[in-house]
Amino acid sequence: MKARSRCQLARLVCATSALALVGLVAFAVPAATAQANKKVTLGIGEIQTSIGGADPESFGTMLETQLVKTNKFNIIERSRLVEILKEKGLSMAGVTDGSGKLSGIEGVDYLIYGSITKLGKAGKDFSYGGFGIANSKVEMAVDLRVVNASNGEMLYADTVQETVEGSTSLAMRGMNSDNSAGDPLADVQRLTAKAITGRIVTSIYPIKVIAVEDDGTVVVNYGDSLLTVGDQLKIFQLGESFRDPDTGQVLGSEEKQVGLLEVTEADPRFSKAKIVSGAAKVGNIARRLSSSASDKHADTPHNQLPGE
């Protein structure tokens, strides 16, 4: 069901812009072509939560920042989105819970909604006699929805969950030690926003190899909005496409894994990687190996845009 939703979302993006089927790498497209290609416009709707201490507005801003950094979409400011909805007699909450009926929102292609279902510490403590140790992790989970702004149809729904290491505390006969550093609560929110961005953007525009330099360094079309130094990418060569005999719809393509990369540099608009095994060539697609047990989609196939 999720794969079909991603395929449907990809097909509707194609309908929005037929030119998006070619030259998907923004910084590699000549300026004139880039102006001709119409970017999909996203709006971030209401982020809901019943979790105490969670700040939906702050998380929505983090998500907006990550989406802008991909350079794949136009993002409408949330204040402007509120104004547009008010003009139609709708509220953010009304659209989110389905009580409002969309009949097309001018200038917006898709709306993104979320519900923070988990945010807090999780860990196990151990004590014996006068000795005690406490390990904590910080977890966050968000239910994600992508809605077609023209008719309110839900195109994609998923749960994204991420975890970061918190602190380790040691207590022994009145002495205490705590190695906590940074702000794990903020870190897990940024990581979750980055994971949500990855789910959305790669469902439409897959990671692709766009150059192989003379020294063997591989360049891919996503930067630090999606990738981090140390990430590993499986490289695939696409084969023959499969089409539905009744509708002509592209259902998928044969895939053959041809290599494995490790990201060595993540710039704002592209990343560089070294070849760990196999080979890579321009046009190959890539999928990030899961960095956590919760990120099940990073290492699974996704539907390609028709014509890719």
**What are the tens digits of pLDDT across the range 164-202?**
876 555 445 555 545 555 678 889 999 999 999 988 888
Instruction: Tell me the whole-structure pTM to 2 decimals.
Output: 0.65
Q: Which fold has domain 206-308?
A: Thrombin, subunit H (2.40.10)
51-56 contacts at long range (C-beta below 8 A, 24 or more positions apart): 51/116, 51/117, 51/118, 51/119, 51/120, 53/119, 53/120, 54/116, 54/119, 56/116
Helix boundaries (H) for 147-225: 184-204
Name the residue type at position 113.
Answer: Y
- 237 close to 259: Cβ distance less than 8 angstroms: no
**What are the tens digits of pLDDT across the range 56-76?**
999 999 999 999 988 888 998
Nearest Cα residue to 97 out of 48, 137, 62: 48
Instruction: Calculate mean pLDDT across residues 112-122.
Output: 89
CA distance 213 to 100: 52
**What are the tens digits of pLDDT across the range 289-305?**
865 434 444 454 444 33
Instruction: Calculate mean pLDDT across residues 121-131.
Output: 59
The pLDDT value given to residue 210: 97
The pLDDT value given to residue 259: 96
Sequence-distant (6+) residues with CB within 8 A of 251 are 7, 241, 242, 243, 244, 303
